[in-house]
Chains A and B, each alone.
Chain A
Amino acid sequence: MPPMPTHPAPLLEARGITVRRPGRGRRAAPVTAVDGCSFTVRAGETLALVGASGSGKSSTAEAVLMLRRPDSGSVLFEGRDITDLSAEGMRALRPAMQPVFQDPFGALSPRMRVRDAIAEPIKVHKRWDPETGPDEVDSLLGRVGLAPELGGALPSDLSGGQCQRVGIARALALRPRLLVLDEPVSALDPSVRAGVVNLLTRLQEEQGLGYLFISHDFALVRRIAHRVAVLDAGRIVEEGPTAEVCRDPGHYRTRELLAASGLLAQRAGTAGAADAAGAADGALRGAR
């Protein structure tokens, strides 16, 4: 991971955001997916949101991107409150904060060639210049490590890793300052995952991008995130510099996630009883 910039400006700030969702199952009460979360992402910095399934990671991502307006709390982008921004105001802001999704195939249209898929966001935001546009797309392909010949390929011709590189190129096309990455490599095979992780690190180094990086894999987070926030049932239960949290986890959920990623092997056995209780708890959440 690149060293932290010395005077980082706050890029994204979440202040006590809460998101409620309809519950699962018949007559289920709404669940509070995100429960008063506050955090900051600075330019050039990676904040990892780590947690088990259902802990509210993706709901948080949706809320900061204003894909789902938080029920309470506010989101600030570069110091400006965007919580109650109009659709038009939000449209003007979207290029600055771009998402990268988990499923690299699902995020691309199966009928759109790579070149067109990368040009699409530029055209949608009416920034396309027919003179320079094609060169811009070529340079984006190069920056994400794809050969120019692949511009004519369809997603079905590509591997998962290549598709995810196209997804990253699409996100970069609008020159964002923040990327919200929702499990961007968990669907990839290990040998291509490492390449995409290295790519993300290099892009941050080159362009000072801020990353909100959602993951459940501490082994990966430890490598690429400057700071980490651990989510449990919609609440941030622990937050701090990644190295410190990994060395001295304070919350049992953090220890559990570290153990599951093989980073706390010696304690995995003794924590068994607590883990089992936690699992039963998690399993029941769906049934209630």
Chain B
Amino acid sequence: MNGSPVLSVRDLAVTLPGRNGPVHAVRGLSFDVGPGEALAVVGESGAGKSVTARTVLGMAPFGARISGSATVGGQEVVGASAAGLRALRGRRATLIPQDALAVLSPVHTVGAQIAAALRSVRRTGRAQARREAVAALGRVGIPDPERAARRYPHEFSGGMRQRAVIAMATAGEPDLVFADEPTTALDPVTREHVLDLLQEMRERTGAALVLITHDPAGAGARTDRMLVMYAGRHVESGPSAEVLGAPRAPYTAGLLASLPERAPSATGPLPVIPGAPPVPGRPPAGCAFEPRCPLASDPCRSDPPDPAPVPGARDRLVSCHRRADVPEPPSALFADAAPGREPAGA
């Protein structure tokens, strides 16, 4: 990492009000993102990925209790005033959401919405903002941007909408862009194009990118580092290629082995992580993955593991009491699932 981080998260905890009592969405999370760096945040539904991003942008869900610290370009976000957060959003940090239709207004043209986004972050005349909006649409690869700017979101395909939202989110040339599952709703070919576009955007503006995803394989090739989360906690982090190539936490190993494109054998049942993620609001006392972990032992049941460096590896942290006992290859941990049977809970 060069220079001081654009984003620095320390011991962040976010508790949300839930139907059956408080939900500990993020628990003691720490990580940094360097200038221009791309970080993939990988985890399944309920891992706390989106809540982390929204908290950093001062958009935590209503009623959230937040502790710890998150600084963007040195400015503290936790406890910041509404005015301070407004000054931050759009200019220094922005969000590309998963559902492009939900953030686009159906009653304004796409061009008008991008122009409005521009005028909200800097003083620009209407005509000038309008011209820049057309240019921004062209930069994100939309053919005939002049005409596209006059169209409404429902006239766009899913991929075009996501491109338009990327144009909108990056209009203010922020230092830090959060992309929250930006490609989940897209088919694989369009997904690749949108991920390439994010890469280009990063190269052009020098912005750092936090790519939130539940698809570790797709994210790995396009990010410098990877953070794996489970039930609101840090599981493992480090250079993306190393985390994907040699996972050091049992959860990461199981997650990777269950992907059809990475499964160790081409036929037979896919390796499956037994059980199901913990119920939100009732995390286990120890390691959250312990009930599903083939290596679980006594300390795992009582104490949540803290991130610890991996011996012999630079910039890698693993939160696992049994990190020294993960076999080679790590996928072997989940390979002996009885053929033809699936866990009842999953």
Q: Please list the residues of chain A having a beta carbon within 8 angstroms of any beta carbon in chain B.
A: 1, 24-26, 51-54, 145-147, 159-162, 189-199, 201-202, 205, 216-220, 222-223, 256-257, 259-263, 268, 275-276, 278-280, 282-287
Contacts and interface: CB of A to CB of B under 8 A. Distances in A.
Interface residues of B, number: 53
Interface of B: 44-45, 141-144, 147-148, 151, 154-160, 163, 186-193, 214-218, 254-255, 258-261, 263, 266-267, 269-273, 276-277, 340-346
A284 B143 CA distance: 7
B155 A280 contact: no
Given A196-B346, A286-B160, 9 more contacts: A52-B187, A190-B216, A194-B271, A197-B270, A198-B270, A223-B270, A256-B189, A260-B187, A260-B192
B276 A161 contact: yes
Contacts of B343: 145, 195
Contacts of B261: 219, 261-263
B345 to A, nearest CB: 8
A110 to B, nearest CB: 13
B271 A260 contact: no
26 contacts: A24-B155, A51-B187, A146-B344, A162-B346, A189-B44, A189-B45, A191-B44, A191-B254, A191-B272, A191-B346, A192-B276, A194-B259, A194-B270, A197-B270, A198-B342, A205-B340, A218-B188, A219-B261, A260-B188, A275-B189, A278-B189, A280-B143, A282-B190, A283-B141, A284-B143, A287-B151
A148 B89 CA distance: 49
Contact of B215 (A147, A190, A196): A190
Contacts of A51: 187
Contacts of A284: 143
Contacts of B163: 283
Contact of A25 (B154, B158, B189, B277): B154
Contacts of B276: 159, 161-162, 192
A190 B258 contact: yes
Contacts of B271: 194
Nearest to A156: B19
Contacts of A278: 189
Contacts of A205: 340
Given A220-B260, A283-B157, A198 B190 contact: no
B94 to A, nearest CB: 23
B344 A260 contact: no
Contacts of A280: 141, 143
A222 B186 contact: no
B340 to A, nearest CB: 5
A265 to B, nearest CB: 9
A197 B260 contact: yes
Given A145-B342, A147-B344, A197-B270, A283 B142 contact: yes
Contacts of B254: 191
Nearest to A272: B196
Contacts of A260: 187-189, 191-192
Nearest to B269: A198
Contact of B193 (A145, A161, A261, A279): A279
B39 to A, nearest CB: 19
Interface centre among A162, A191, A197, A279, by most chain B C-beta atoms within 10 angstroms, is: A191
Contact of A223 (B188, B214, B266): B266
Given A52-B190, A223-B263, A257-B188, A287 B344 contact: no
B190 to A, nearest CB: 7
A222 B189 contact: no
Given A190-B214, A190-B215, A279-B189, A1 B346 contact: no
B332 to A, nearest CB: 16
B158 A53 contact: yes
B191 A54 contact: no
A187 to B, nearest CB: 9
- Looking at A216, A262, A275, which has the most chain B CB atoms within 10 Å of its CB? A262
B190 A287 contact: no
B45 A160 contact: yes
A286 B342 contact: no
Contacts of B273: 191, 194
Contacts of B217: 262
B193 A54 contact: no
A189 B276 CA distance: 11
Q: Which of B160, B271, B343 has the most CB of A within 10 A?
A: B160
Contacts of B267: 1, 223
A145 B344 contact: yes
A190 B259 contact: yes
A25 B143 contact: no
A189 B189 contact: no
Q: Which 10 A-B pairs have the closest CB atoms?
A: A286-B157, A260-B188, A219-B261, A194-B258, A25-B155, A194-B270, A189-B44, A195-B346, A195-B342, A198-B269
A52 B258 CA distance: 24
A274 to B, nearest CB: 11
A217 B269 contact: no
B272 A195 contact: yes
Contacts of A197: 260, 270
Contacts of B148: 287
Contacts of B345: 147, 162
